[in-house]
Amino acid sequence: PPASKAAAAAKKAAGAAKSRKPSGPSVTELLTQAVTASKERGGISLAALKKSLAASGYDVEKNNSRIKLGLKSLVTKGTLLQTKGTGASGSFKLNKKQAETKDKAARKKQPAATAAAKSAKKPAGAAAAKK
């Protein structure tokens, strides 16, 4: 019996040591989805954001600080634009300019990759021809 208690204690300690990764999308992903879903011209307010997150089954009361931090980080990254207010309060909308630049960057990367692949093949063919 005392050995089994020690084993159980060791298992508990090991379980606590592992970092628990929350299941589902991150807070920032949820926030961006909520903002894109809103059709408000001037952006979606913090209160409306919290309502939509709560409607989708997210515990807003418990994760209030995470929501605020997530909003602030999205604004500093440039993913969201803050149309009113400061900090995590006010209204937010999607930054269309940044979304466009991301699309352009993705488009530019594809041709560059194919060109690099073609140029990489040419020297191999040229080397074979020399022999």
Closest CA to 32 of 94, 89, 83, 86: 94
- Give the pLDDT of residue 14: 47
- Give the pLDDT of residue 10: 46
60-71 core/surface letters (b: 16 or more CB in 10 A; e: else): eeebeebbeebb
Q: Output the six-digit token pair for 61.
A: 């009361």
- Neighbouring-strand partners of residue 80: 94
pLDDT one-digit tens code per residue, 95-121: 888 777 766 666 666 555 555 555 555
- Give the pLDDT of residue 24: 74
Contacts of 88 (CB under 8 A, 6+ apart): 46, 67, 68, 69, 71, 72
Residue where the block lists tokens 């208690």 = 5
Q: Is the pLDDT of residue 5 over 80?
A: no
- Give the pLDDT of residue 111: 58
Establish how many alpha carbons lie within 13 A of residue 20's alpha carbon, considering only the half-sphere containing its beta carbon: 4
pLDDT one-digit tens code per residue, 43-101: 999 999 999 999 988 899 999 999 999 999 999 999 999 999 998 899 999 988 877 77
**Percent of the chain clearing pLDDT 70 (strictly above):** 60
Mean pLDDT for the chain overall: 76
Angle of the 27-37 helix axis to the 64-77 helix axis, nearest 10: 70
Q: Is the pLDDT of residue 11 over 70?
A: no
